[in-house]
Amino acid sequence: MKIFGIDPGSERTGYGCVEHSGSRHHLVLCGSLAAPATATFPERLKHIHAGLAALLAECQPDCVAVETIFHARNVRSALKLGHARGVALLAAAEAGLPVVEYAPTEIKRAVVGYGRAEKPQVQQMIKLLLGMDHTPSPHDVADALAVAICHLHASTGAVAETIRYHRAPRGTARSWREFRPS
């Protein structure tokens, strides 16, 4: 199963593709799309759409997972973020792929074990889960990979059975807050 995760943003959109085979997650590709600073807002949206469409055609994922809007500092920011999400959803729809959406707290809970985890915690867990040499940067990339992993953890079938099978026994640490080194 191959999942393409998207963390939409009007300034920079993070993306990441994760494949699940057997009992491990494998990084396929990741990065971010950012239009030139001098580009107008419609040009930025066009750049995001074209980039995502090309990446989806290249990766051929089974599904696209997108982070939902949870809040914004002001209405204008929320509207711009909504436009960027719309462009991402359009690229997935044009590719004929199913789309699932997850709230930021769901994503953090699935990856870190705590719904209010900080961005560095998410980056560190993504590094560990995917066996990366360095933490994914910028944080938009880590967030996109986290969305993909969240869907892998939430999906039914073989992935969910594998995760259930490897669940820690009672009395052991179930999240980073309960972990105590021996």
Q: Please answer whether residues 7 and 67 qualify as being in contact, where contact means their C-beta atoms are separated by less than 8 angstroms.
A: yes
Q: Distance (Å, rounded) from C-alpha 69 to C-alpha 81?
A: 8
Question: Token pair 């789309």 is at which residue?
Answer: 99
User: If we measure between CA atoms, which residue out of 60, 143, 47 comes closest to residue 104?
Assistant: 143
Q: Please answer whether residues 19 and 58 qualify as being in contact, where contact means their C-beta atoms are separated by less than 8 angstroms.
A: no
Residue 91 Ramachandran class (φ > 0 left, ψ -120 to 50 alpha, else beta): alpha
Catalytic positions, please? 7, 67, 140
Q: Distance (Å, rounded) from C-alpha 30 to C-alpha 18?
A: 9
